[in-house]
Amino acid sequence: MTTTMATGLDRYQDFLRKNLENLPQFSQRPYYEPEGDSLIFYARDEQSYAKRLNGLLTLFLATKDDTLVGCEVKGVQRILRLAGAFGVIVRDHKLKLGFLLAFALAEPPDDPSMASFEDGVREFRDVEIDSRELQPA
């Protein structure tokens, strides 16, 4: 019984080693999650935790020093719909993350002590998004 368990564990460890080597490298690319209608962006590949700024914006902060690692903007389809209703047009399928952040930051922080992070997310404003990737599921 011990030999069978050890053999199974060895195969599992070999599987993990092979597959971990083949994982894609980190890239600073926004990811649209259609089920949650949110756009997720990580600027750095660093262990982090989520801290809600307001109903539309969640920040990802580094566990080691609470610096800004990334963010999640919720309600992307509603933001795009509202922008379109006011005449905002996306040309050549290019959209800046700053556009979505501006809408998300219109709502004040739930916790006033988090207000200092509002300026921090500006570093993400020029991250480019292909608007074709923002299609609902």
Q: What integer best gives the mean pLDDT of the chain?
A: 88
> What is residue 32's three-state secondary structure?
strand
**Contact call for residues 57 and 122 (beta carbons, < 8 A):** no
Backbone Cα Rg of the chain: 19
* DSSP H/E element including 81: helix 76-85
Domain boundaries, the chain: 26-134
Confidence bin at 28 (pLDDT 50/70/90) = confident
Count how many Cα atoms sit within 13 Å of the Cα of residue 93 in the half-sphere of its side chain. 6
Among the listed residues 107, 100, 55, 58, the one whose alpha carbon sits nearest the alpha carbon of residue 82: 100
The pLDDT tens digits of the residues spanning 39-60 come to: 999 999 999 999 999 999 999 9
Kind and range of the H or E run holding 17? helix 2-21
> Residue 128: pLDDT band by 50, 70, 90 thresholds?
very high
Top-ranked range on mean pLDDT: pick from 7-16, 63-72, 82-91, 108-117: 63-72
